[in-house]
Chain A
Amino acid sequence: MVLGRLLLAVGLSGLAVLLSSVVACSHNSRDDSVGTIKVTGSDTMVNLANAWREAFEAGHPDISLQVKGGGSGVGIAALCSGKIDIATASRPMKPTEIETAKAKTGKEPKEFVVGRDALAIYVHKQNPIESISLGELAEIYGENGKMSAWKDLDIDFPACSGGEIIPIGRQNSSGTYAYFKEAVLGVKRDYRQGLTSQSGSSDVVALVSKTPCAIGYSGMGYYKADLVKMVKVAKQKGEPGFAPSVESALDGSYPISRPLYLYTLGEPSGAIQEFIQWVRSEEGQKTVEEQGYVPLPKEPAAK
């Protein structure tokens, strides 16, 4: 019974948070210089935000951070209701969301690009494939896709018995799943049924390393040279492919990469401003690179 109550309470409070974030999109005025900065949003960025928290708190003992996931949409909605100070997002705010925030709070959401995330395509170490195009990936992962065997890609790979391509992806509530769908399949097309889905970025790499027939997508930070091979990705068949790297992600030649954002309501001040400045500083960007994401170029474009 106690457990039931506890679960009820958790469920109810969750609902309450949701409702209030939808209904009342107004920002409570707060003293920005006080203690705790609340950060909520993207699941892709939870580990990164936690790494920031550890490094930042070590140098700023008077400021503490509270980091939560939930998804980019959840973070943006919570920002509008004034429940948090910073929303992390692996997608830009939609125009409608910006309008809502402006209408409800009178403040314009401020966007900070704090790094990039590149999704690498992984195959088994012995797989001879060097480059793959976005179109081919779509035929492997997409609904009614036409490619199901390695010979469809003109790859002769005897170590994979049967020659079938085993596409590996993420579970359907993951942000990576959503981004890969958008970047490779397009907004309209769904994934095909029967994909092997893994619950973590490193799980994808681990499974590919043990499965000769497999292909998988995961953040480039999870690359382990002794376990798997990274495939170059081309925008069109016939064009040169690019390996995911800090440079190719930044200049846009690597096609599956996206910016990572922080959002605040209005111009940040006090501790929040200090934190964002730190994130965009050399020290904060070092954490970005350590966590396997792409840091900002050395001279960050002033926002």
Chain B
Amino acid sequence: MSALPPKVARAGGPVLGGGRSPLRELPERLIEMLIRLCGWSAIFFVFGIFFFVFREGAPFLFHGLDLREFFTSTNWNPVSDTPHYGILGLLVGTLSVTVLAMLIAVPLGLGAAIYVSEFSTPKVREFLKIAVEMLAAIPSIVWGFIAYMMLNPLIIAATGAPIGLNILNAGIILALMSVPVIVSVSEDALKAVPDSYREAAVALGAGRWEIVYRVLFPAAKSGLLAAVLLGVGRAIGETMAVLMATGHANQIPTSILDRVQTLTATIAAELGETVQGDDHYRVLFVIGILLFAIAFAVNLTADLIVKGIRGKQNG
């Protein structure tokens, strides 16, 4: 996965090259610099994008936006003569869809990972891994189309809901989109548990399920958690598919058959036709800042939990 640590790479060069002439080291150094640049570029991009989003949103965030209304009102009507910028409905929409998606995707993804890693024959494993990778390769607009044209009538027929674009629909679609992430990361985590653990458990007379539950889960805990949180990130950030699957209606839902509107879908639907620099344009960037903050919080939590687990294991 990760590149060799710099020291090893540096020491390796001259040995392979045979001599120690400065001329020989030059390409070596250049490549090293290039790779270092690649490493740092990720940070540049993140800060660059954050700076841009913040700069577009900030003028309205600090002058004009009523933060209390922003977080507590469900009235999102930015183009009215008396505009209202309440995103409570959008926040609840994002949250409800994400929670339902995770309720479906986590058991499904972990179950699939356990089967692939522990129970399947090598042939079946290869086949399933390819299938899961293909699931990950489906573009989100195609998922949206499936939600719109296939799941919508199916949900109407199955539940009697007046419209099949709702939390249930988006939850199913987002779950299917997150499952490949969860499966491949948690399968890696399970595979990384040394076989000696399994052998020791078998020697102690543990059954297969006991091995998974009592030995593998605790050993792979941090990797499995990372998998789940990556899935959460996928679900919160998804835009195109939820725009089509949720019904895109701003209201506080009372059941999973209600339509909702998410933060990401609001930006996607409205930004294209706003006048650059006006309040509506800027408030959409404020939502972007909020999404940044949410993503940051999710990642930070994941990091802290993983570090906490590691710390305990090492100490």
Interface residue ranges, A against B (CB under 8 Å): 1, 3-5, 7-8, 11, 14-15, 18, 43, 69-71, 73-74, 160-164, 166, 171-174, 177-178, 190-191, 193-199, 206-207, 210-214
Q: Which of A11, A173, A191, A198 contacts B273 (CB 8 A)?
A: A173
A149–B55 Cα distance when bound, in Å, is 45
B249 interface contact, C-beta 8 A: yes
B34 interface contact, C-beta 8 A: no
Q: Which of A164, A173, A197 contacts B248 (CB 8 A)?
A: A197
Closest CB in chain B relative to A216 CB, distance in Å:
11
Interface size on B, residues (CB 8 A): 46
Complex contacts, A18 vs chain B, CB 8 Å: 275-277
Of all chain B residues, the one with the shortest Cβ separation from A14 is B276
B274 interface contact, C-beta 8 A: yes
- B160 with A161: CB separation less than 8 A: yes
A166–B258 Cα distance when bound, in Å, is 11
Stretch at the interface among B25-33, B108-116, B162-170: B162-170
Q: Which of A71, A171, A210 contacts B152 (CB 8 A)?
A: A210
A198–B246 Cα distance when bound, in Å, is 11
- B269 with A199: CB separation less than 8 A: yes
B70 interface contact, C-beta 8 A: no
Complex contacts, B153 vs chain A, CB 8 Å: 210
- A1 with B45: CB separation less than 8 A: yes
B243 interface contact, C-beta 8 A: yes
Closest CB in chain A relative to B60 CB, distance in Å:
14
Closest CB in chain B relative to A196 CB, distance in Å:
4
Within 8 A of A (CB), among B80-112: 80, 89
A211–B151 Cα distance when bound, in Å, is 11
Closest CB in chain B relative to A200 CB, distance in Å:
10
A14–B285 Cα distance when bound, in Å, is 15
A163–B44 Cα distance when bound, in Å, is 54
B14 interface contact, C-beta 8 A: no
Return 24 A-B CB contacts under 8 Å, by A number: A3-B48, A4-B51, A11-B52, A15-B276, A18-B276, A71-B275, A161-B160, A161-B161, A163-B162, A171-B273, A172-B77, A173-B269, A173-B273, A190-B77, A193-B75, A193-B76, A193-B250, A194-B249, A194-B251, A197-B249, A210-B153, A212-B162, A213-B162, A213-B163
- A211 with B269: CB separation less than 8 A: no
Interface 0/1 of B53-91, CB less than 8 Å to A: 001100000000000000000111111100000000100
A210–B150 Cα distance when bound, in Å, is 9
B234 interface contact, C-beta 8 A: no
Complex contacts, B277 vs chain A, CB 8 Å: 14-15, 18
Q: Residue among A161, A163, A199, A213 with the most chain B CB within 10 A?
A: A199
Complex contacts, B199 vs chain A, CB 8 Å: none
A171–B55 Cα distance when bound, in Å, is 25
B143 interface contact, C-beta 8 A: no
Q: Which of B49, B161, B243 contacts A4 (CB 8 A)?
A: B49
- B163 with A166: CB separation less than 8 A: yes
Q: Which of B76, B156, B165 contacts A196 (CB 8 A)?
A: B165
